[in-house]
Structure 1
Amino acid sequence: MTGFVSLEGKRALITSGTRGAGAATVALFRELGARVLTSARSRPDTLGEEMFVGADLTTAEGCATLAAAVRGRLGGVDVIVHMLGGSSSPAGGYAALGDADWTRELDLNLMPAVRIDRELVPAMVAQGHGVVIHVTSIQRQLPLPGATTAYAAAKAALSTYSKSLSKEVSPKGVRVVRVSPGWIETEAAVRLAERLAKEAGTDYEGGKRIIMDSLGGIPIGGPSKPEDVANLIAFLASDRARTITGTEYVIDGGTVPTA
């Protein structure tokens, strides 16, 4: 992407930028010239204190802390990338999900974006430019009823919220787009594949096949790498994508069947 895309001088906030696709996005944004601030509950040794904010974004207080740091350290923001997401709900379908499970999924996958946008997007509107990228999931279209009902519903809510926000602020110079990944071969995904492989008495590639089969297959033959997702996000954040807003880009190797 270097040479074709530049983020030189852009002030960027990337949530959950310490692992997986988030870490890859932070690294690429910095390579392309952006000033980056990222967040997680704890700072890894690979990130300096000047570009990290420790905050629990599942709380209103954590989101406010991060927004204040963006204003104080960056003096504002040109790009917001909402990478935060995940699920810890139990398997067992809808009947296994209590109110606490639903609240936890919404607090992780929807509300951080809502709160941070509410804090920072008004200044983007005032300056007349900005880009907001919400990372959703193909699960919003392809939920796995036995395991991801609440997560998928929360990501669907994030997608709908993102579309509504785009209609409100795009006429004022702020682009809002969605990136919808399928299975990404992150550190957590590797651990899952290894565990499934051990349980099934197969190797790592066999574990990957179990996951791909559960998704109905991945036509290109394997998952995306974190760097693949980062490349797409960087392009959408750049001026090369200046007329793109209000839409969603799926990066899933063809997992979701389409007409």
Structure 2
Amino acid sequence: MEQEFNFNNELSGKIALVTGGTKGAGKAIADRLEKAGATVIITARNHPEQKNETQHFISADLSQTSGTQKVVDEILSRYGRLDILVSNVGGSETKAGGYAALSEADWMHSRQTNLLAPVRLDRGFLPQMIRRHSGVIIHIASIQGRLPLYDSTLPYASAKAGLINYSKGLSNEVAPKGVRVLTVSPGWINTTSSKAMMERIAESSKMTLEEATQSVMDGLGGIPIGRPAQPEDIAEFLGFLVSPRANYLTGTEYVIDGGTIPTS
């Protein structure tokens, strides 16, 4: 049966949550879903620098169980359901220096933020999606799940590898129940957070900012397309994945890296 799609308003009537939605790729994703007609909720620890009256903001630390529960309770109480969940929150705050420089706290914090926060949100929102036999969950992972940078972000890379594996297993369980689960693994995205990471690497390794940037590029094996991704590059693809146009896609990891990962 042939289907017709309205690309300009294809998410009208949908309720969407984008975690880490106040800046970088998260903000670009939230804005893209809003333009497609969705009602958008965003979360972050801190209020957005530029207030957006059209997006519902929830202040929460998703690395804590209480933070994820706060988000689940507030959304279900106010809206009664969630149609689209984009688990974008994540990042690395560990110092460079390899395994010996990492403490137990470094490993635990990375796991809580990059793996367990999405798991808890899924656990909170999946029951109502399954009851309605409808929903889309997107886990934002990273190419570091396959290409870990041992000198600077090993806990982050390990957590993202776990997220990729978990996402595939979850998709196999809930696809027959009407819920699509997908993973998007970006490469280097040109955000304020990535710039801050370069500054940390430069400071700890006694490099210039340019040398630190080149060292990360070298560690990734280069970016054949010649530049990091822009947040909008990621957002546009997410807009497709959560739309009715992608209704046969589930259980797949999509890599957006400008060609960084070599063929295995």
TM-score normalised to structure 2 length? 0.90
Q: Report whether the alignment pairs 1:59 with 2:53.
A: no
> CA separation in 2, counterparts of 1:27 and 1:150?
30
Contact 1:132 1:175 in 2 (8 A): yes
Contact 1:5 1:240 in 2 (8 A): no
> CA separation in 2, counterparts of 1:151 and 1:157?
10
> CA separation in 2, counterparts of 1:5 and 1:50?
17
Contact 2:40 2:55 in 1 (8 A): no
Moved more, 70-79 or 104-113: 70-79
For 1:200, the equivalent position in structure 2 comes to 208
Matching residue within 25, 30, 41 for 2:29: 25
> Relative to 1, partners in 2 of residues 1:50 and 1:229: Cα closer, same or farther, differing over 3 Å?
closer
> Relative to 1, partners in 2 of residues 1:21 and 1:79: Cα closer, same or farther, differing over 3 Å?
same
C-alpha deviation, 1:212, in angstroms:
2.2
For 1:123, the equivalent position in structure 2 comes to 128
Matches within 5 A, 1:1-259: 3=7, 6-44=10-48, 45-48=50-53, 51-191=56-196, 199-200=207-208, 209-259=214-264
What is the DSSP-based 3-state SS (H/G/I as helix, E as strand, rest coil) of the residue aligned with 1:175? Answer: strand
Contact 1:12 1:79 in 2 (8 A): yes
Identity of aligned residues (%): 47
> CA separation in 2, counterparts of 1:123 and 1:250?
29
Contact 1:5 1:235 in 2 (8 A): no
Cα displacement string for residues 80-135 of structure 1 (whole angstroms, at most 9, x for unaligned residues):
00001101112221222221111111011011111111011111000011000000
C-alpha deviation, 1:6, in angstroms:
2.2
C-alpha deviation, 1:214, in angstroms:
3.1
> Relative to 1, partners in 2 of residues 1:169 and 1:105: Cα closer, same or farther, differing over 3 Å?
same
Unmatched runs of 5 consecutive residues or more in structure 2: 1-5
Instruction: Give the letter for the 2:7 counterpart.
Output: G
> Relative to 1, partners in 2 of residues 1:97 and 1:190: Cα closer, same or farther, differing over 3 Å?
closer
Task: Provide the alpha-carbon RMSD of the alignment.
Answer: 2.2
Count of matched residue pairs? 255
Instruction: Give the letter for the 1:228 counterpart.
Output: D
> CA separation in 2, counterparts of 1:138 and 1:39?
24
Contact 1:220 1:254 in 2 (8 A): yes
What is the DSSP-based 3-state SS (H/G/I as helix, E as strand, rest coil) of the residue aligned with 1:110? Answer: helix
> CA separation in 2, counterparts of 1:51 and 1:138?
30
> Relative to 1, partners in 2 of residues 1:167 and 1:49: Cα closer, same or farther, differing over 3 Å?
same
TM-score normalised to structure 1 length? 0.91
Contact 1:5 1:234 in 2 (8 A): no
Contact 2:143 2:185 in 1 (8 A): yes
